Structure 1
Amino acid sequence: MGANRTRGAVAAARGAGDGRRNLILVVAVAVIAAAVIGGVVVTHARADVPQAGGTYATTVQQDGTVVAGSANAKATLDVYEDFLCPYCKHNLEDPYGKDMTKAIAAGSLRVDYHVLDLLDNETTPAGYSLRAGNAALAAAKAGRFAEFHAALYEQQPTEGQAGYTDDQLVDIGRKAGITSQQFADEVKAGAFDAEIRGQTDKARDSVNFKGTPTVLSGDNQVDISKAGWLSQLTKA
């Protein structure tokens, strides 16, 4: 609509007499300027709004649990992960991550993700597990947890080396579809650091937690080395 208004103002100026043309040209310039400024304002406003339209819906509970999927799903799992954990990548995410994502999106699976910083001292410098976990919760709040979660495991740093910086995590988020300034601010501020540490402390105190990854169905440990475990749960 702004573009049509601009074109109309310019066309009117071209068809008028000299005196009237000058006046209309002034008006046309004002309309164009307003349209440009308005576009900038709208773009900035949209950038500050968390992005919707991700693969599946997520909510971040007060304790930092990321709830992915519908409460009416056939199966509910509790998944405990650390983004630096190689076993999380090789034993869970690489073989089953895409199928879990599809099941969550289809409404047959709900996953309560507990993001931990157990390996926070295993990078040089230390701190990557916490930074990545905080960024993942910020991504969940922005509606792009599935995309960001997958990206971090696909590009997982190696233990002992440097993990991603805050700026790099923000860039990974942008490539995953997160354009809000709020996401960048939360990543750089460590907005969910306390929640990640709380999740880690709670996991350590739980008799059901067996390290990362731990996958629970209720209080029962899921044997993710057993072929077909996911389909058995979602089709039950």
Structure 2
Amino acid sequence: MGQARSSGSSDRTKVIAGIVVVAVLAVAVIGYVIYEQMTPSTSGTDAIPLAPADHTISAPAVREGGTVLVGKDTATLTVDVYEDFLCPICGTFEKTYGTDIKKAVEDGKVKIRYNILPMLNRLSSPEGYSTDSANAALCVADDGKFNAFHAALFTKQPEEGEAGYTKDQLIKLGKEVGVTSATFESCVRNQTYKSQLDELMSKTSNDPALRDPESGRFRGTPSVAAGGKLVDLDNKNWLADLTK
């Protein structure tokens, strides 16, 4: 009798152990799948996934020099947003406020002037992704497709210190969002707007209205300004307050 109970207990232990192993493996597989979905391809050829439609602003987008103005002509308030496509906090900013910005723009309450800065070039490997992506965004804006491109690059960002998306991938994304211009590919490959982006970076860095009062330097990305003054992003209702 004692041996029978011992054998049953041993069998149950083996079954339980087996279930635990399967559960651990399942969690590991799920975790890996999520990681793969959140991590950009480093192959240099895979397509960058498009952002969901509800993450993409539906409003005119026009390049103005090194910036892109998004919104309806009837909007009387213009807000400047300063971002870098490599900046992880900018990604958080877009996830936190993107829906509110989209609604405010589409409702005609505000225009957003996107200042996409080549600020973090040294933090990609190889260096230069900030310029490549910002330049590509301006090339896309020439064809009126900036909004979908902008949303895609923030939905699935490269990580700081890792490889950014290649020019081939950026070109492929541009075509995915509907760019048809014959000069688009050369615009991306030749960094057509690099000088304008460098000028924008210099102008932004030296703008007294964008300096941190403590350090005296540019606040960094993401930053938001309206009426010549920095917006306090610690105030979660900043956009609602601006559009009252």
2:228 equivalent to 1:219: yes
Contact 1:59/1:141 (CA < 8 Å) preserved in 2? yes
After superposition, the C-alpha distances for 1:139-186 in whole angstroms (9 at most, x for unaligned) are: 111111111000010121001011011110011222222233322221
Secondary structure at the aligned position of 1:179 is classed as coil
1:80 paired to 2:89:
no
Hey, what does 1:9 align to over in structure 2?
Answer: none
Q: Distance in 2 between matches of 1:117 and 1:161?
A: 16
Aligned counterpart, 1:23: none
SS where residue 163 of structure 1 aligns? coil
Contact 1:101 1:146 in 2 (8 A): no
| Displacement after TM superposition at 1:71 (Å) | 4.3
1: distance between equivalents of 2:59 and 2:200? 23
Matched, 1:55 2:61: no
Q: Distance in 2 between matches of 1:191 and 1:74?
A: 31
| Distance across 2 between alignment mates of 1:108 and 1:137 | 24
CA contact (8 A) 2:76 2:109 kept: yes
- d(CA) in 2 for partners of 1:84 and 1:218? 27
Alignment-derived partner of residue 200 in structure 2: 199
* Unaligned segments of structure 1, at least 5 residues: 1-53
Contact 2:59 2:70 in 1 (8 A): yes
How far does residue 194 in structure 1 lie from its aligned partner after superposition?
Answer: 0.9
In the TM superposition, what whole-angstrom CA distance separates every residue of 1:123-145 from its partner, at most 9, and x where no partner exists? 11100000000011111111111
Report the TM-score when normalising by structure 1: 0.72
SS of the residue corresponding to residue 77 of structure 1 reads strand
Paired residue secondary structure (1:124)? coil
Contact 1:151–1:176 (CA under 8 A) maintained in structure 2: no
Q: Distance in 2 between matches of 1:165 and 1:113?
A: 22
Contact 2:125–2:163 (CA under 8 A) maintained in structure 1: yes
Report the Cα distance in structure 2 between the residues aligned to 1:216 and 1:181, rounded to whole angstroms: 35
AA at the equivalent of 1:137: L
Where does structure 1 differ by over 6 angstroms across 4 or more consecutive aligned residues? none
Cα RMSD over matched residues?
Answer: 1.6
C-alpha displacement at 1:228, in angstroms? 2.1
Q: Is the 8 A contact 1:214 1:221 kept in 2?
A: yes
